[in-house]
Structure 1
């Protein structure tokens, strides 16, 4: 566990999540940001329900949004002694989907700018879906993460390469 209970959005995340995400009747981004991180209690309740393991807490996650089915997007606090903005962004879906979608907040901003939400980055259920570049989110990424600019495919590939055992790690916690 990373010793932090800071539940304030970093400025870059707050700027990105203040913008609208257009689902566009299934042809857009399926992401509903929260106005703040879930509380420690809410996060623990969710993580225990998701895993079926009441011995766990949610201290290693900062949940900041969901898809339409209730899957959560969160920072995974796995890097000791690193600030929140340098922690990976993960998705834990309502149907058991898991994925590390970005290695840090800067990469996540470019993922959003490229027209992907956490669900779209973690799953491949909609083969005909085409992402649409989001100019407003690109402006946020340019403002806060100029040095991290990359394509959504590169963002996901780097995150997956850095954390190849995320799914196994989470599934080992399930009962």
Structure 2
């Protein structure tokens, strides 16, 4: 296979271990225990972009929604810590969105009862906080609280340039 490090950041692994996605209606997420292998992600990317020669994308995939869309870190700055990289949702129907500016903000989305697809499709229900995830978000973000609106506003502020740049990586038009 490969000697590629597929280990999730500790905070993300801790959140996934809580099992929030199994017993909470607000999430459409099937989290992985490790990152997907880059070869698998490259094949998915080539199909997604329609470019059979697209370079491997700078994505570290850690989950999928029920339609096959992927939740991932976008490794925009390879020398920077993974936890500081933006998180994106790359949908099965061609949509691509920045969902959090970093792992700390993503943890606050999860803590609020919001998964990676919900910010894109619209939060239809009144999400309920998950106390165990609130504790994880506090511990790993260093913040007492972070409202969903603030997380989404920060992601939207980075959104246009990031999506345009990521799309160029695959040669999509």
Scaled by the length of structure 2, the TM-score of the pair is 0.87
- The size of the alignment, in residue pairs, is 167
Aligned residue for 1:164, secondary structure, equals: helix
Q: Does 1:37 align with 2:30?
A: no
Aligned residue for 1:75, secondary structure, equals: strand
Aligned residue for 2:33, secondary structure, equals: coil
Identify which of 87, 102, 105 aligns with 1:104. 102
Post-superposition shift, 1:40?
1.2
Question: RMSD of the alignment, in Å?
Answer: 2.0
Post-superposition shift, 1:111?
0.9
Residues 90 and 71 of structure 1, relative CA distance in 2, 3 Å threshold: same
Per-residue displacement from partner, 1:23-45 (whole Å, max 9, x unpaired)?
A: 65xx4211110111000111101
Question: Unpaired segments of 5 or more residues in structure 1?
Answer: none
1:131 match = 127
- Distance in 2 (CA, whole Å) between partners of 1:42 and 1:135 is 34
Post-superposition shift, 1:53?
1.2
Q: Does 1:169 align with 2:165?
A: yes
- Distance in 1 (CA, whole Å) between partners of 2:15 and 2:73 is 15
Q: Does 1:75 align with 2:73?
A: yes
2:12 match = 13
Question: Unpaired segments of 5 or more residues in structure 2?
Answer: none
- Distance in 1 (CA, whole Å) between partners of 2:56 and 2:23 is 28
- Distance in 2 (CA, whole Å) between partners of 1:163 and 1:85 is 18
Residues 151 and 107 of structure 1, relative CA distance in 2, 3 Å threshold: same
Post-superposition shift, 1:170?
4.1
Per-residue displacement from partner, 1:50-80 (whole Å, max 9, x unpaired)?
A: 1111222334000000111110000001124
Post-superposition shift, 1:122?
2.4
Identify which of 144, 163, 172 aligns with 2:140. 144
